[in-house]
């Protein structure tokens, strides 16, 4: 593939006589972007039905948003897709690392000439990333916390390129993208996470108590930038014998599919056992009791997302917790990476 053209910081104009073209974000585009998103995810019960107001809150209004990185494809005057490229944080998570670009969203609803539109948007996204100095481009997620579109599809983080989107996978690999990470999301209804007659519940109830830890503190500047639009809760698992901390969890309150006032999914943002020897059954008890407490606030389900590098086995929790909590697989995807320089 040829080097990306150095046109990323200049407004694109459609070539004469060519019907498919791209333009960088303009202030009149939010309704079209929201419509394209909703068309793309209309068959999903977990994705948010996007509005211009939600788009502003979760994407456009962030301090790291660059209009040049959100590129919309048109056929004639009709929007037919968009791509959004952002950048990962530095290792200290106190600034943006422009050497690591993240293709956070690639939305092309419909089947009519989809490959042509996808390739055109990838050309534009790669050119923008290269023009800003990116050395690597991730697609579908990144090892660091992604800059945009968190919690709007399935799971708390980006779900990766869907496993069943064989066409997009083929296109990415033909352009030099390599798979680097697997991501799975499981979901369970709050009232059915663990059977109340499970004997393990009674043992855990005697040994542990779950307490509300208040609103969690965001750990660094990057979390503040990316997670500020969301409500979050923190819970702690304490030993009844001495009150010592056994584990803690942060829960992200996703937006309900029908909007902010609809019953919404909860997503485990991070789960931290104090000891690596804490059994999965205790972690399952902890999460089920946490979800039970949160079921009083118009929540409907709990999501768990796991990720692991290609070629490595998943963590034991990824295999043990979902069946223990009666969860179903709702998404499986892949993160890809391409070297640009």
Asked if residue 7 has pLDDT above 60, the reply is no
* Torsion of Cα atoms, 186 then 213 then 93 then 269, to 10°: 0
Give domain status of residue 209, yes or no.
yes
Asked if residue 197 has pLDDT above 90, the reply is no
Asked if residue 13 has pLDDT above 50, the reply is yes
Q: What pLDDT is recorded for position 340?
A: 96
Helix (H) or strand (E) holding 98: strand 96-107
Q: What CATH number has the domain bearing residue 295?
A: 3.40.630.30
* β 328-339/161-162 pair status: antiparallel
Asked whether residue 129 falls in the same domain as residue 81, the answer is: yes
Cβ neighbours, 10 Å, residue 162:
16
**What is the value of pTM for the model shown?**
0.89
Work out the pLDDT band at 211, boundaries 50, 70, 90. Answer: very high
Average pLDDT, the chain: 89
Q: What pLDDT is recorded for position 92?
A: 93
Asked whether residue 266 falls in the same domain as residue 135, the answer is: no
Q: Which of 134, 155, 176 is the last residue of a domain?
A: 155
Contact by Cβ (8 Å): 1, 101: no
Give domain status of residue 9, yes or no.
no
More confident residue, 91 or 264: 91
Contact by Cβ (8 Å): 267, 251: yes
More confident residue, 44 or 80: 80
Give domain status of residue 282, yes or no.
yes
Give domain status of residue 181, yes or no.
no
- Domain encompassing residue 63: 20-155
Q: What is the DSSP letter of 191?
A: G
Q: pLDDT per residue over 94-121, tens digit each?
A: 999 999 999 999 999 977 789 999 999 9
């Amino acid at each position: 593939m040829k080097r990306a053209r150095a046109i990323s910081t200049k407004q694109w104009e459609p070539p004469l006589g060519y019907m498919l073209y791209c333009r960088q974000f303009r202030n009149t585009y939010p309704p079209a972007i929201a419509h394209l998103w909703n068309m793309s995810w209309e068959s999903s019960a977990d994705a948010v039905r996007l509005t211009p107001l939600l788009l502003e809150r979760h994407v456009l209004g962030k301090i790291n948003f660059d209009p040049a990185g959100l590129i919309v494809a048109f056929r004639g005057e009709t929007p037919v897709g968009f791509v959004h490229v952002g950048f990962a944080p530095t290792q200290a998570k106190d600034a943006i690392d422009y050497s690591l670009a993240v293709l956070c969203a690639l939305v092309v609803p419909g089947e009519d000439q989809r490959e042509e539109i996808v390739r055109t948007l990838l050309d534009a996204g790669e050119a923008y990333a290269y023009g800003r100095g990116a050395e690597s481009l991730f697609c579908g997620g990144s090892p660091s916390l992604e800059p945009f579109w968190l919690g709007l599809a399935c799971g708390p983080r980006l779900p990766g390129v869907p496993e069943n989107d064989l066409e997009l996978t083929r296109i990415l690999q033909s352009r030099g993208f390599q798979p680097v990470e697997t991501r799975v999301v499981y979901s369970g209804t709050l009232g059915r996470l663990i059977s109340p007659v499970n004997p393990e519940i009674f043992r855990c109830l005697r040994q542990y108590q779950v307490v509300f830890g208040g609103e969690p503190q965001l750990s660094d500047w990057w979390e503040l930038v990316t997670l500020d639009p969301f409500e979050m809760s923190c819970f702690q698992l304490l030993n009844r014998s001495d009150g010592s901390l056994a584990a803690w969890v942060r829960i992200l309150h996703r937006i309900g599919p029908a909007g902010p006032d609809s019953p919404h999914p909860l997503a485990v943002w991070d789960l931290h056992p104090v000891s690596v020897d804490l059994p999965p059954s205790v972690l399952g008890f902890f999460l089920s009791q946490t979800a039970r407490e949160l079921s009083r606030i118009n929540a409907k389900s709990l999501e768990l997302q796991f990720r692991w590098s290609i070629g490595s086995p998943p963590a034991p929790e990824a295999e043990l917790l979902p069946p223990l909590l009666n969860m179903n697989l709702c998404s499986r995807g892949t993160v890809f990476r391409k070297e640009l320089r």
